[in-house]
Structures are given as structure tokens and as C-alpha cells.
Structure 1
Amino acid sequence: MEMERINEDTIRVLINNSDLDERGITVLDLLGNRKQIEGFFYSILEEVDSEHQFQQDGSVTFQVLPNKNGLELFISKGEHIDQDDSFSNSTTIDNNDIKNADNYSLNNNDDAYTRNFIIKFNSFEDFISLSKVLRIENGASNLYFYKSKYFLELTFFVNVGGTDEESIKDSLAIAYEYGNKFDKNSRFFDEHGKRIMDTGALELARYYFK
């Protein structure tokens, strides 16, 4: 692990894959558990902040850039972003309510229904790139891992808050620039894969991989 003091308020830490292995942790572990992410980052802060300047301040932010060798972590003094607040604007949906069918009505309202799509990525970096440009106001996103590939389930709430078929087409056009359509559903991945980001995968990726 390498540390560099960028300026008075920022520390840059290079965490390679061997550093993660020594701590018995993987990038996938971090992505699947927000509390584990925060705990891991603060443990790194304790190691590199030998003079306790950042810890005494009590107000720090973390920015992460993933790469093939591990992670590049920037630790800065500043306003602390509460994790729960950062997701307060994301729409949630219980996955048990997502049916096998491509669409179904919501709350017995014939005018409102969902549309589900699966996007397959060639690399995790492609998913991160998509998260920076695609924002879904009325919907949910789950990220799955299956046979060394990443799959994003996009769920749109149609006729809710201005979301319609045309806006879905626009969103999918963006998504297909970074991945490909995959003809499976969430039940398949729940049975055969591993869900590593739940409900707000796009928001979570934007927050931690800036």
C-alpha cells in the first residue's frame, strides 16, 4: 500500500490487490456491504493518518477509483456525506414484487406498471462508466455477478413521475452503449449468480467510484 500527501486536506492511497488479500477482503465484498465499505476506508485512514490530523477533524470524505491492480483512494477533509442521506432520493422496490414477466401493474393501477431489462457488461469498468451517465428517477437497479461477468437489472416504473415508454427507450439506448441486452430475469441470477448491489446499484456506484 502506498500513500501520498496531495495537499493539506487530501491523502492519496494506492491499495493493490495483494493489500486487499492480506485483509481478507475483495472489491466484491466492499460493493455488497456499505457498512463494510465505510469500516474498511476508516481502517485505511487510521493506518495512513499517523498524526491523526484527519481523524481529529472528524469530517472526511472518500473517493474511489477502481483499476485492474486494486483501488485508488482519495481521503479528504471536508463535509461528511451521510450514506443514508446519499441514497434518500433513490426509489426502492422489494425484489419479491418483481415478477418474471416483462411488465406488470403496480398497486392494482392499470396505468402504472414496471418494465425489466438485463444488461450484460464485458467488464466492471463498463458498469461504472454507465453509472456516471445514466440516472433513473423512477425505478431500481440491481447488479449481479455470474460466471465472471456483471449483469445489471433495470426496473422502470412506467407512468410514474413522468416515466413513459419513450423515456425508457432513451435510457436503454444509453445502457446499450456500455453493455448488451441479456435474455434472463432476476430469478435466474438469484438462483445461479450473486447479487452484489441491491436496489440502487447505479447510485451506489456513482457514490463510491467518483
Structure 2
Amino acid sequence: MKIERLSQDKIRIFLTFDDLLERGIQKEDMWREIPKVHELFSEMMDQAYSELGFDASGPLAVEVFALPAQGMVVIVTRGKMNGQSDERATDDEDTEDEIYEMEVTMEQSDIVMYSFRDFEDVISVCKQLQAASLTEDGRLYSYNGKWILALEPALIDSSRHNAVIALLAEYGEATSVTYAMLEEYGKVIMPSDAVREICTHFYN
């Protein structure tokens, strides 16, 4: 579980599928009201407080983005208390009550995204993807000092999807950035056919 502060009242939490499995939670469970998910959210908020000093009291807007190969991104935005006092449940018998007032939004993206520190790694993975006839598609972004390659699964043979992920993971790492954030804040370097373009221009 990785937590980072986006602003004074907003944090982003990146959960890998391993994080979910360790807690006995399937990806689909995040859409359901079950105790395990509430426990996970409480754990996330406790960690956010201990690591960042983020106090999750008051109304919270929670956005959950499911990413196909990486895991899940949870963005928590703290609202104003409107003068109400902060009363958290402390007794065991009160733990069944809603401690957090949440407005939850769920989004699922099929876009596969991996980030790379060095452009040489981007070139290497693109050459491997092309050589293995896995894909020549993709959009390349620059975001926060890293290169991010985004692939549309619909343009990848479903039987070879895992092979694509394996290659991407060999050279890069799963990114906790959502596609919506990438579109809004990232810089588009190659809008289409990124794998083919990179192999054409950087072939040796």
C-alpha cells in the first residue's frame, strides 16, 4: 500500500492486487458493502494519518479507480466539517457504525499503463513488444519526470495479454496514476502507434 499527499485535503492510495489478496478481498468486492472493505478503508485512513498526518474526520469523497494490470487507486478528498464537532467511535460496540461519512465513486479503466524512469527502458520494451508481435499500438506520455506507456487492451490479442504485462513489468513498474489524471496533467509525446514509432526512430 502506497500513500501520497496530493494537497492539504487530498491523498492518493495505491493498492496492488497483492494488497487486496492479503486481506482476502477480490477486486469486485470494492464495489460491495462488506466488512472487509470497511476494515481496509479504516486501515488506509490509519496509515494516512500515521504517515502523512492526514486526519480523515468529517465528510470524505472517495474515488476508486480499478486498473487492469496494476491494482486500484483510491483518491480521498476531505470536505469541510460545517462547524460540527469531530466525534469518532472509540468503543468496540460502536465500530459497526459509520465512522466516516463517505461519498464513493467507482471507475474502471481497461487501459494498461506502466511508467519508466529512463527513455532507454521505453525503447527496450517497445522493441521487445514489436519483436514478439505483441503490439505496435500505444500512447506515450511524459508525467512527473517519468515516461508512461498506455496500451489499449482491445488492440491486444487477449491470449497474449499476460505476455504484454510481463514485458512491461520487466522494464517498468505499474503506475498509480489514473488515465484521467494522465490525460489532464501529462504531456502527450506520441498520441498513437507509440511502439511502432519508437522502434522506427530508435532502431539500431
TM-score by length of 2: 0.42
When normalised by structure 1's length, the TM-score is: 0.41
